[in-house]
Amino acid sequence: MARILIVEDEADLRDILHFNLQQAGYTVFPVATGREALRLARERRPDLVVLDLHLPDIDGTEVVKRLKADSATEDVPVLVLTARGEEVDRVLGFELGAEDYVVKPFSVRELLLRIAALLRRREAPREQRDVEFGLLRVDREAHRAWVDGAETTLTALELRLLLTLHDRKNRVQTRERLLDEVWGIDADITTRTVDTHVKRLREKLGAAGGYIETVRGVGYPFRESPDAHTA
């Protein structure tokens, strides 16, 4: 069963989470500080981290940043717990690479569903297999793409953009992150360029273009879109 690191300084909430996750069959490592969280994440290699953003020592956003910057922990999904109305923190959570968040107060049931979804996503193979998603097919080695059986000609950059979005399915990819991963961090272009290329890629994908959604002001998640299937 999956191993979950809980990072929450409020003892009552930490105990509730500990109890409920254990009841659900998970192995739980509860800690109260960011420092302990970073240490345990390296030592115990959890399958998922549930992280309160407001911690007494290291700020939660900084904990996410360090987890994602460390090759030992970068692939561990992070679910952020945040207080109501913290719009900035939420956005920041995604920009920093947190995979999901729930707003306090939340129901344990909802949290368990989110955790299960993140863990399922983690088990799914990615980045090796050819893309077969709804109307979309991509042969990675041949650098060829098809929509509903018809080949669409993508530039190398468009293909890279598409695969980067696809391989991080259901997670919002910020324009900054896309710039970094698709163009390379030193590229002398602006985030607006990302918007332009996403727009062109969507057009080339036609009926499958709807898989690339826009989260205004944040970035782009690749998602199953019901519209695309009715095309």
Binding site for Ca ion (CB under 5 A): 9, 52, 54
Q: Are 74 and 93 in contact (CB under 8 A)?
A: no
| Closer to Ca ion by Cβ: residue 83 or 215 | 83
| Closer to Ca ion by Cβ: residue 82 or 225 | 82
| Closer to Ca ion by Cβ: residue 57 or 74 | 57
Q: Which candidate, 134, 188, 140, 200, places its Cα nearest to that of 164?
A: 140
| Minimum CB–partner distance for residue 32 and Ca ion (Å) | 9
d(CA 45, CA 62): 19
d(CA 138, CA 189): 27
| Closer to Ca ion by Cβ: residue 47 or 52 | 52
**From the CA atom positions of the chain, what is the Rg in Å?**
19
d(CA 52, CA 16): 14
Parallel, antiparallel or unpaired: strands 144-147 and 150-152: antiparallel
| Closer to Ca ion by Cβ: residue 28 or 212 | 28
| Minimum CB–partner distance for residue 81 and Ca ion (Å) | 8
Span between the terminal Cα atoms of the chain, in Å: 40
| Minimum CB–partner distance for residue 106 and Ca ion (Å) | 14
| Minimum CB–partner distance for residue 60 and Ca ion (Å) | 8
| Minimum CB–partner distance for residue 53 and Ca ion (Å) | 7
| Minimum CB–partner distance for residue 104 and Ca ion (Å) | 9
Q: What are the residues whose beta carbons fall under 8 Å from the beta carbon of 99, sequence distance 6 or more?
A: 77, 78, 79, 118, 121, 171
Closest residue to Ca ion, based on beta-carbon distance: 54
| Closer to Ca ion by Cβ: residue 20 or 164 | 20
What number of CA atoms fall less than 13 Å from residue 9's CA on the CB side? 14
The C-alpha angle 92, 113, 209, rounded to 5 degrees, equals 60
